[in-house]
Amino acid sequence: DGGITQSPKYLFRKEGQNVTLSCEQNLNHDAMYWYRQDPGQGLRLIYYSQIVNDFQKGDIAEGYSVSREKKESFPLTVTSAQKNPTAFYLCASSIKYRETQYFGPGTRLLVL
Amino acid sequence: QQQVKQSPQSLIVQKGGISIINCAYENTAFDYFPWYQQFPGKGPALLIAIRPDVSEKKEGRFTISFNKSAKQFSLHIMDSQPGDSATYFCAASDLAAGNKLTFGGGTRVLVKP
């Protein structure tokens, strides 16, 4: 079964805690992306990576960090510096220099 | 400016009717315009996409119309079905700048049987 998996489906964060969201793809895609979706709103780009060991900030990178040590994995850490982390987080991937981005099922992050 | 403005925020259409969603953009470097469909609690799925060298693209009941001079594009859903009830997002990107998608705010479509 090829595709993008995100885990966990739901994640609860305590005050001052860092949490990490997992994104794995077995599509052999070069590029991976993280988006944030707030209720009733469109998606906003947090970070993206075109190649292993390289990534760039998107429009709302503050309070987030990423790593890209393997082609198939692009984890997102929501740090304690992100003061309003409650949102639906979506990971996507695409073939390098090709248009179509495929999205995972998402992780809903809630603050306790 | 990277904004993509989408309207309406929501619409209700009778089964068999036509749903029309409009988007406008500002960045003239954008050269890829996809539409995504999203069901509650799920990730968006690509519905149809267009490049600016064509003015219209049709796939089944879904048609994109593109007006480069006006910097506007729209999605038409013909013969709308209850299963089309979802939120639709337009987006735009500059492929040469990393294919970072800029999304519109979304349109919630309800198709009444």
* pLDDT reading at A41 higher than 90: no
pLDDT of residue A99: 78
Residues of chain B with pLDDT under 70: 1-2
With CA atoms as reference, the chain B residue closest to A92 would be B43
Residue B10, H or E segment: strand B10-14
Cβ-based neighbours of A98, under 8 Å, separated by 6 or more: none
Q: Determine the residue among B100, B102, B107, B108 to mutate to test chain A binding: the one whose Cβ has the most chain A Cβ atoms within 10 Å.
A: B100
pLDDT in tens, A74-112: 999 999 989 899 999 999 999 876 778 999 999 999 988
pLDDT of residue A83: 87
- B29-45: string of b/e by CB count within 10 Å (b at 16+)? ebbbbbbbbbeeeebbe
Contact yes or no for A90 and B2 at CB 8 A: no
Q: Determine the residue among A27, A99, A108 to mutate to test chain B binding: the one whose Cβ has the most chain B Cβ atoms within 10 Å.
A: A99
* Nearest Cα residue to B91 out of B6, B21, B1: B6
With CA atoms as reference, the chain B residue closest to A38 would be B105
pLDDT of residue A30: 93
Question: Which tokens in the block code for residue B67?
Answer: 């007006």
Contacts of A105 in chain B (CB under 8 A): 42-43
Nearest Cβ partner for A42 among B45, B49, B103: B103
B85 touches chain A (CB under 8 A): no
pLDDT of residue A53: 95
Report whether A44 contacts A84 (CB < 8 A): no
SS3 of B84, please? helix
How many beta carbons lie within 10 A of that of residue A32, not counting itself?
Answer: 28
